[in-house]
Amino acid sequence: MIAQTGSVYLTLCVSVERYVAVCLPLRARSICTFGRARTFVLVIVFLSFCYNIPRFWEVTWQDTYYEEVGNVSSVVGTELRENPTYISIYITWLYLVRI
């Protein structure tokens, strides 16, 4: 999800840069600099990571022992994932704003 969020916003940045290059060709060299591009990429990576931090606590591992096969690990949702407020605000509304 971190990569997906970063990909969406990096695509948006490239689109804005191309818009500036086509619509404002005389000012494009002063607006679209290497330093600004690097800053935007670093900010996008940081914000993408920060936005997706709660996802690390949505699930946990649960080990179950079966005599036929031995230990089996499975992914189980935590209380956070079942919280109606979390679902409403983070998963529904913030996901809508993110994309």
Domain residue spans in the chain? 1-51, 57-99
Which tens digit of pLDDT belongs to each residue from 41-75?
Answer: 999 999 999 999 999 999 899 888 888 888 898 98
Rounded CA separation 73/83 (Å): 24
Tell which residue, 75, 72, 71, has the closest CA to residue 61: 75
Which tens digit of pLDDT belongs to each residue from 32-49?
Answer: 899 999 999 999 999 999
Question: pTM to 2 decimals?
Answer: 0.76
| Contact yes or no for 91/77 (Cβ under 8 A) | no
Given CA atoms 73, 79, 82, 87 in this order, what sign does their dihedral have? negative
- DSSP E strand stretches across 1-99: 59-66, 70-77
